[in-house]
Each structure stands twice: as C-alpha cells, then as structure tokens.
Amino acid sequence: MIQELKHHATLADDFNQNEDRVGWHDDTLWWIREKRDKIAWQVPDWELLRDAASNIKDHVLSNLNPYLVQFEANAIANGITVHWAADAAEHNQIVLNILREKEINKLVKSKSMLTEECHLNDFLAENGVDVIDSDLGERIVQLAEEPPSHIVLPCIHKKKEEIGQLFHKHLGTPEGNSDPQLLTEAARHHLRETFLSRKATVTGINFAVAETGEFVVCTNEGNADMGAHLADVHIACMGIEKIIPERKDLGVFLRLLARSATGQPITTYSSHFKKPRENQEMHIILVDNGRTKQLGREDFRNSLKCIRCGACMNTCPVYRRSGGHSYHYAITGPIGAILAPNLDMEKYADLPFASTLCGSCTNVCPVKIDIHQQLYKWRQVIVQSGYAPKAKVLSMKAMAFTFSSPFVYHTAGKMGRAVLKYAPFTVNNKFNPWYKQRDMPEPPSASFGEWYKKNRN
Amino acid sequence: MNIKMKVGLFIPCYVDQFYPNAAIATLQLLEKLGVNVTYPANQTCCGQPMANSGFEHLTSGCNTLFMANFKEFDYIVAPSGSCVLHIKEHIHTPNHEDDKNISGKIYELTEFLTDVLKVTHLTSNFPHRVGLHQSCHGQRGLHISQMSELVEAPYSKPQTLLNMVQNIEMITLKRKDECCGFGGTFCVTEEAVSAKMGKDRVLDHENNGAEYITGVDLSCLMHLEGILKRKNSKTKVIHIAEILNAS
C-alpha cells in the first residue's frame, strides 16, 4: 500500500524543511516560466502553432504502426541498424550487446530521458561499463549520485556553491570557488578529454522523421554532436512516440520546443543525423516500455504527445515548491505524474494527487495535452483499482453519506460549528493538518440556510 | 434576460456553514438587480471533495439531490467557480439529457452578471485597496478571465465588475494568476506545499498593499484567511459578492 512508501507528500514535506530554499527553487523556475511567456508572446500565432503540433501528434498516435515501419525502412536504407525493445530490460541489453561486440567498456552519453526511464547507467555500471554523462547538468547530478530533478534542467535543485564543492571533490577545482564561468570551464576540460577517449556514444532522439529515416537531437551544449562526431559507434535511443511524419513538421516542433522549455527561440544545436560516417556504426533503438499500453488507455493516450520540454514543471506551483525528487520517477512534475502510473500504478499511486488541478500545465503544454484532466482521471482509476489509503476510503464514505442527506448535512453542520465555537481545542491541535500553519475559520452563529429560513420564507 | 426567469441560488456547503455573509450578499445583489431568485432548502454539496479525491463513484447521492433541487430552474447561480465547474463537467445522473441541461444553465456569479444580466453599472461603494485572487477553476476552468499562459487578448469578468465599484483601488500583483494551493483535500494531504503556496500568495498581496483579498471562490479565500490570521496580518479576505453588494 502507498502509506508504506515514501510518497510525494512526505518527500515534499522534507523539501519544505528549508523554506528559504523552497523560495529560491520556486523563483528560479518561475523566472524560466516568465521567459517562456515573453517569447511565446513574440509569436502572434502561438496558439495556432500549439494546435498544429497537437494535431500532428494526434495523427501520429493514430497511425503509429505505419510511421514506425516507414521510419525503420528508411533508416535501414540509410545504413543505420534498427533495434526494437519491448521494455527497459531489452533496451539496456541491446546497448550492452553492441558495446560487448566492439569490446568497448567506456561510454559518453548525452541527455536522454528514455535512458533515465530505463535506468541504463546503473545497468551498464553493474556490467562493467563506465558511463559519463556529457550534458553539464546531468554530469553534475551524476557526480552527486542523484537522479535528475527536471527533464530539461537536471540539476536545477542545486545551488552553485554545492556544485563548486562537487567539482572541488571530483574535478579538482579550488575549494570554495563557485564562479559559474570557472566551473563550466573545468567541466569543459574534463568532458573534452572524455569525448576524445570514448569509442562509443549514446544520444537521445527528439524527433524521428518517418519520411527520411533521419533523427534530430536538440541540445544547447553541442555535447551530443561532440560525442557522435568522435565516437566509432553512435547508439541513439527513442521512445516509439517520438516519430513525426515529415521533415517539414520540424518547422512546427522546433519553434515550440525551446520556446516552451527555456524561453529561447531555438536550441543552440538542432542536429540532424541521417547516416553513419565512413567506418562509423549507427544504431537506433526503438523502445516501447509501456507506451503501447498507454496508447490503449483511451483517457491517457494523448500523454504520448509529449515532446519533453518541461514547461509543465516550470509552471507547476506544486513542482516549484516540492522539487523534482519528490516525484520519485525519472520524468518529474505534472507530465511524469500522468505517465508513471501507467508503468506501476501501485508505486506511483500518489503522483496524480500531487496537484491542485489548477490547470496551468495544460495551458503551457505546447502539444496541448490535457494534463490536469488526466490527473483527475488517474485519481479515479487509482481509487477504483484499490490503491487509495484505507483511512481516506473511510472518510470519503462518511462524507458521501453526510452530503447525500439534507437532514444529516444540516445536523452535522450545526454540530461542526458548535464544536469549533465551544470546543476549538478539539480541532486546533497538531493532529489537524489544516491547523499546523493556518487558523480555522470563525464559525458563524447561523448557516445561510438558517438565515434564509428566517428572513425570506 | 427576462426577469420572470426563475433563478436557483446554489450555495456551496462550506459557504453555507462558514461564510453566510457571502451567500446573503449574493442573494441581495441578485434581488437588487431584479432577479427572481430562490434558495432550495434541501441542497447540500456538489460532490467535488469526493470526486477530486478519486471517489467520483461515491457522488451519486449528491448528483441526485442536486438534480432534484435545481432541475426546474431556468438558471442556476453560485458564488463559486469551483463548484460550478464541478457540476458542469462531472454531474452524472441516469438521465444524460438532464445532465446536459444542468451544465448549460449553471453559472458562476460574475459570469452570470456579465454574460446573462449584462450588468453595466453598480451602485456599490468600497473605499479600500483590493487585490484580486484569480481562483483557478473559475479562471482556467470556466474562463472568466484571460490566463497568463495563453497568448490571447486580456479580459476579466470579475475585474470588469470591480471596475464599476466606486472608490475601490485595485492593486497589481507580481504573479497575477498563480494558484493559492487550496486544492480541496490537497490542503491537508499535501499540507507542506499547500501552506507554502498560500503563504507566497498572501505575501504578494501584502507587499502590494492590499487591505482586502477578494475572489470568486471562498475555498481559496478560506485557506488564505487561515494563513493571514495565523500571522496576525492586517489584510482580510472578502468574497467578491460582498464588494459588489457593498453600500
């Protein structure tokens, strides 16, 4: 049962022990949300662009099979080896097999949320392969032995002083120095050495074009390119939903992605990979890992439209004040909360409840996923599947009983107000979570119903 | 609107029990505007606290009662965006035609005043500095105001009405439409985040000199009031109906 796990509310409570830090985290992400607003307003047809993206993705989800087959055929014709993985374990094994065949035991990896979802790093480490993440944020959390807390900004939860300490320990920067330029330079030297010495690279895929068999990787640091251009083996991993029909569709998605993610007009690098260089091997792994199951869930299938921009995290008032790690899943925030229960409903039963259903996520989503509506629907599915805490079930049944009868409701209301008035100590105590940081409302002497009876009938 | 039209006054349970003055103001305001308004005595709750907690299947008692109380009215009006949105989207009775009918004729107070009554002036007077809290369900659910996430022309039904009030001074907020963190049962199941969100909202209003925080939903205001009182703040909360009805 979910009470036994450390769930979102508990982890968020831990995060809130340092209120100043919560304020800092909130302000940092809100600043990115504001950057996103500013740049979205520079595109007069922003809402039309979102519609277009949503329609293309809907179309792809309804025709996923033919597009995947078309993509595979074109990629093979381009000289790329294509693999299919049903789940995370198969995906990880395919990567390992490719490396073993080439007798490679060192790998450089650019950012890929899919590999986080599959826990590829842990699997490869267990099998004697050394992995270095080349995205700066990912490298920082890797050194800290933590998972990313945000899909676009993996170390957004870390202050620069903490990064300075980490770099001092691992990269030998001067103690107590947290100058961002110095730290970035240190990381650059460290990674340059990595790029030059690694024979294999793993990258993610932002968009896979069915029409041409090419794929596009978007980064700000050029780290995917550095890896891919220097390594003998390039393995690119993608969830099967990353397909787009034609190259021209990129005109829609590339305009939306970086604007939504960080408020930039476009990522610094939007690199197209179509075929291997001479003497290079290029592999694509197409991964299902629960996606076809989600596609079969009518209410939740359109969560697969996600292009992993992270805008829903930056705007989410709960995410900003609970931190990415409180979601205990690779994809954090509102989108993670509607993707995770598909994989393990019991383990992630808490996540759809980690929301006020304010709807801001739905409004910023560049592909118009109705995130908050799906959170509501997941709550129903989770409760109906028996994953609600027992105490909650009982209180909800009592509530339903009270509200189903005007007599019981009026009596209970009167009693409740009397208790608040004459015995406030029964509710104003530490067992009442409302009272911990908030006063209870002042009980009036009469309800509106009672007043109305006296004054209008 | 034909003033002979019968309007049913829907008062959310917690307003009935804890904030009768907001309900009285709503009733008096509608009466002043010549509306034929009745309060059905047997109403309880719209069922939202259960439904939002994942127990929509336990709301059939509430749905049946709501239907029995309000079916016959031409319009249903409530001083709450949240409860109205819940009924609009989630009332399920055996008769789907009835459900559709209810969804089409239920209104949050400010949208009823602007869209149906087409109110253009009010006689109210409220000489105070006021901050408007945009409650999410009214704003992002019922679209009573433009939303900061969307690239669209600005509008706000509550603000339009507040602009008709004499001597009122509206303050500008740093974050004009961020959620307050109430969220129904969220306010107790996620106490830490809920309280932090509330504190941040309150601070924005206080920093900008609000004497009152107003809004269309007392659920949000009840949460903010709890935080204001705990810190002995001078800022108070008041439902928008009480301002629009103030003389």
How far apart (Å, rounded) are the C-alpha atoms in residues B90 and A261?
33
The predicted-structure confidence for B116-144, as pLDDT tens digits, reads as follows 999 999 999 999 999 999 999 999 999 99
Closest by Cβ to A434, choosing from B141, B196, B226: B226
Percent of chain B whose pLDDT exceeds 90: 98
* ipTM attached to this prediction: 0.96
**Which CATH class for the B129-244 domain?**
alpha beta
How far apart (Å, rounded) are the C-alpha atoms in residues A83 and A238?
11
For chain A, say whether B217 makes contact (Cβ under 8 Å). no
The shortest C-alpha distance from B29 to chain A (Å) reads 14
Determine whether A199 is exposed, middle or buried from the number of CB atoms within 10 Å of its CB (0-12, 13-18, 19+): middle
pLDDT at residue A419 is higher than 90:
no
Residue A424 pLDDT: 84
Q: How confident is the model at residue A195 (pLDDT cuts 50, 70, 90)?
A: confident
pLDDT at residue A2 is higher than 50:
no
What six digits make up the tokens of A299? 């209410």
pLDDT at residue A57 is higher than 60:
yes
The predicted-structure confidence for B33-61, as pLDDT tens digits, reads as follows 999 999 999 999 999 999 999 999 999 99
Would you call B195 and A438 a contact, using CB atoms and an 8 Å cutoff? yes
pLDDT at residue A3 is higher than 50:
no
A361-365, A418-422, B152-156, B235-239: range with lowest mean pLDDT: A418-422
Closest by Cβ to B187, choosing from A317, A364, A434: A434
How far apart (Å, rounded) are the C-alpha atoms in residues B72 and B66?
11
What is the reported pTM?
Answer: 0.96
The predicted-structure confidence for A272-315, as pLDDT tens digits, reads as follows 999 999 999 999 999 999 999 999 999 999 999 999 999 999 99
Residue B161 pLDDT: 98
Side-chain half-sphere CA neighbours of B188 within 13 A: 13
Tell me the pairing of strands A214-219 and A207-209. antiparallel
Q: How confident is the model at residue A1 (pLDDT cuts 50, 70, 90)?
A: very low
A306 close to A238: Cβ distance less than 8 angstroms = no
Give the relative orientation of helices A406-422 and A390-403 as an angle to the nearest 10 degrees. Answer: 110
If one counts every other C-beta atom within 10 angstroms of the C-beta of residue B58, the result is: 21
Bridge partners for A100 per DSSP:
none
Residues 68-127 of B with CB under 8 A from A: none
Tell me the pairing of strands A200-203 and A233-239. parallel
The shortest C-alpha distance from A104 to chain B (Å) reads 46
Would you call B58 and A397 a contact, using CB atoms and an 8 Å cutoff? yes
Percent of chain A whose pLDDT exceeds 70: 99
Residue A390 pLDDT: 86
What six digits make up the tokens of B62? 């509430």
Q: Smallest Cα–Cα separation from B170: which of B157, B154, B183, B159? A: B159
Structural domain spans, chain B: 6-116, 129-244
Q: Rounded mean pLDDT of chain B?
A: 96
Q: How confident is the model at residue A5 (pLDDT cuts 50, 70, 90)?
A: low
Residue B1 pLDDT: 55
pLDDT at residue A75 is higher than 70:
yes
To which residue do tokens 């003497």 refer?
A279
Q: Compute the average pLDDT of residues B141-157.
A: 97
What six digits make up the tokens of A416? 């409740």
Side-chain half-sphere CA neighbours of B196 within 13 A: 27
Residue B2 pLDDT: 58
The predicted-structure confidence for A303-341, as pLDDT tens digits, reads as follows 999 999 999 999 999 999 999 999 999 999 999 999 999
Determine whether A4 is exposed, middle or buried from the number of CB atoms within 10 Å of its CB (0-12, 13-18, 19+): exposed
How far apart (Å, rounded) are the C-alpha atoms in residues B238 and B225?
9
A118 close to A88: Cβ distance less than 8 angstroms = yes
Would you call B61 and A405 a contact, using CB atoms and an 8 Å cutoff? yes
Residue B214 pLDDT: 98
Which DSSP symbol is given to A105? -
Q: How confident is the model at residue B3 (pLDDT cuts 50, 70, 90)?
A: low
What six digits make up the tokens of B150? 């969307």
SS3 A80: coil
How far apart (Å, rounded) are the C-alpha atoms in residues A202 and A190?
18
For each of the domains in chain A, give its residue range(s) and CATH number, in order of start.
2-19+310-364+371-384 (no CATH), 43-158+199-292 (3.40.50.10420), 405-456 (no CATH)
pLDDT at residue A265 is higher than 70:
yes
